[in-house]
Amino acid sequence: MRKIKQNTNQKAEHEIAQKSKQKAKMSRVIISVAMVLLITLNVISCSKTKQTDGGAESTASSDVGNPEGVPSDASDASTKGPTLETDDTSSQGTPPSNTSTGATEPPESPPETPRADLVPYDGIVEHLFFHEVIAYPQLAFDGDSGQQGYDEYMVTVGEYVKMLESIYSKGYILVNMNDVWSEHTTDSGARRMKKNTLMIPEGKKPLILSFDDISFYEYMSKDGFMEKLIIGPDGEIWDSGFDPSGNPVVTQEMTVVTVLDKFVKEHPDFSLDGVKGCIALTGYEGILGYRTQFDSKNDTPEARINRTQEIARVRPVIQKLKDTGWYFATHSYGHINLNKASLNGVKTDADRWLNEVGSLIGETTLFIYPFGSRLDGGDVNKTGPSFQYYVELGFRVFASVGIESYSKIKSDINAVICDRMHADGGTLRRERTRYMKFYDAIEVFDPMRPSVYGNKW
């Protein structure tokens, strides 16, 4: 009886095993058929997509007046501001299908082609700089001790808007200072700077804009300036401050940054690849309106917490600026006079800037002199130890202030020195002729400026 039962069980187990094998075989057949169908469909789809892409590529290459701001391969696109988004998909294509595995492989990148509307430019690159604009002239020009300085070194927001309109009408286009010069190795093996050939739209003239002291210093807070840059609920940069009555104001029309952002948005051909301008920062009262500085005289737990919070608040502002065509330079940490500072003083200031400001904004090779005072003094052929120290830190372009957009490539060290022209009340009042290539002082002059200082026109 036990033997019969064992035989019966063995027979049942054999039948179950056979059925399982049949099911497994059927499953493999179904899977194989499905894979064949998928591969066939993928090949057909790939073929059709390649035909479509071929047509799109032909159309894109014939679009001579491409308005979308596609960067040229004639210059290093990695150092430019963000390129404008474009619907051109001709360079994307469809990844070829690997029919043996069903996987996809990345396509080979086709060589970039220069924008058809760009032409080489090797002439002078003009350079204008501003300080922060006066939002409320009635507060800046109220007769107090700060009035004359504001009149000399600043422009009002109304003047700034008119200047931009005039500059644009005269055919200028904004370019990135980082694109004007680059490093190369000479025949002797030395690393030196060289001036690049820019690729710009035909008929346009390149212009660098830079902006000094965009830290919204505390002394300016009640004199008609905004107080900081913020990220608005729309994710864009906005200005925050107070109007003359003390009411809080959030706007996009009261600082050098937001006014230029708006202008470029309305006139995209004023900017090459979305470039805006260079923001030169000190650090002794923080940056961009945020008190990120370390104060050894107020090193309390509360002060440290506040500094940590300010650093956290400014980071997204920095990133948004970088994402929208702005870039940064050092303006020294303490706005020191570099022509008079000792080597030890220069080193201490530079190291502190790198620690407190450079750590937030990232690397930069641009140095904009405070007071326009050069590290090498008045002798452009001189390269002293202070200058050498900044070059060792990685700075390459050193910008001062002058009567024209001058530049000189140093032959003894890996650096460029240059001068910028200053757009301010002083040149509005006294240098109308020199600045006519940008704007007419008579046409942009704000009638709210005090008459006591007079004009030379």
- Phi/psi at 318 (5° precision): -60, -50
From the number of C-beta atoms within 10 Å of its C-beta (0-12, 13-18, 19+), residue 369 rates as buried
What is the phi/psi pair of residue 116, to 5°? -70, -20
Q: What angle do CA 396, 398, 400 make, to 5 degrees?
A: 170
| 53: three-class secondary structure by DSSP | helix
pLDDT by residue (tens digit) across 28-47? 444 444 443 443 444 334 34
Beta carbons within 8 Å of 186's beta carbon, 6+ residues apart: 192
- CA–CA gap between residue 259 and residue 275 (Å, rounded): 14
Which tokens belong to 306?
């506040």
Topology, domain 119-453: TIM Barrel (3.20.20)
* pLDDT of res. 56: 33
- State the Cα–Cα distance between residues 399 and 386, nearest whole angstrom: 15
In whole angstroms, give the CA distance from residue 260 to residue 245.
26
Q: Residue ranges of the domains in the chain?
A: 1-116, 119-453
Report pLDDT for 433: 97
Q: Give which of 398, 407, 404 is closest to 421, Cα–Cα.
A: 404
pLDDT value for 381: 82
Torsion of CA 370, 284, 231, 273, to 10 degrees: 30
Nearest to 113 by CA among 64, 67, 79: 64
Core vs surface per residue 183-211: b (16+ CB within 10 A) or e: eeeeeeeeebbeebebbbbeebbbbbbbb
State residue 16's pLDDT score. Answer: 42
Helix (H), strand (E) counts: the chain: 12, 16
What pLDDT is stored for residue 380 in this prediction? 80
pLDDT on residue 99: 33
Quickly count: other Cβ atoms within 10 Å of residue 436's Cβ. Answer: 12
Give which of 129, 130, 151 is closest to 140, Cα–Cα: 151
Nearest alpha-carbon partner for 64 in 137, 27, 107, 117: 117
Kindly give the pairing relationship between strand 228-231 and strand 278-281: unpaired
- Token pair, residue 250, equals 């959030």
**What does the pLDDT read at residue 111?**
52
Q: What pLDDT, in 10s, does the model give residues 47-99?
A: 433 333 333 333 233 332 333 332 233 333 333 333 323 333 333 333 333 33
Query: Contact, 428 vs 159, CB < 8 A?
Result: yes
Phi/psi of residue 127, each to 5°?
A: -145, 115
Tokens 């710009």 belong to 200
User: Each residue of 222-247: pLDDT tens digit?
Assistant: 999 999 999 999 999 999 999 999 99
Phi, psi for 258 (deg, rounded to 5): -70, -30
Q: Are 406 and 432 in contact (CB under 8 A)?
A: no
Among 237, 182, 170, smallest CA distance to 207 is for 170
Closest among 215, 361, 210 to 282, alpha carbons compared: 215
Long-range pairs for 375-382: beta carbons < 8 A, 24 or more residues apart: 375/338, 375/339, 375/346, 376/417, 377/339, 380/408, 380/417
Q: Name the nearest CA neighbour of 90 among 58, 48, 67, 47.
A: 58
Q: Report residue 136: phi and psi, to 5°.
A: -125, 95
Residue with tokens 């009555």: 245
Let me know: does 81 contact 273? Beta carbons within 8 Å.
yes
Q: What is the pTM of this model?
A: 0.75
pLDDT at 93: 32
Tell me if 337 sits within 8 A of 289, measured CB to CB: no
Predicted pLDDT of residue 375: 85
- Each residue's pLDDT expressed in tens, for the chain with a length of 457 residues: 333 334 444 444 444 444 444 544 444 444 444 443 443 444 334 343 333 333 333 323 333 233 333 223 333 333 333 332 333 333 333 333 333 333 334 445 555 555 768 999 999 999 999 999 999 999 999 999 999 999 999 999 999 999 999 999 999 999 999 999 999 999 999 999 999 999 999 999 999 999 999 999 999 989 999 999 999 999 999 999 999 999 999 999 999 999 999 999 999 999 999 999 999 999 999 999 999 999 999 999 999 999 999 999 999 999 999 999 999 999 999 999 998 899 999 999 999 999 999 999 999 999 999 998 888 777 788 899 999 999 999 999 999 999 999 999 999 999 999 999 999 999 999 999 999 999 999 999 999 999 999 999 9
pLDDT at 221: 86
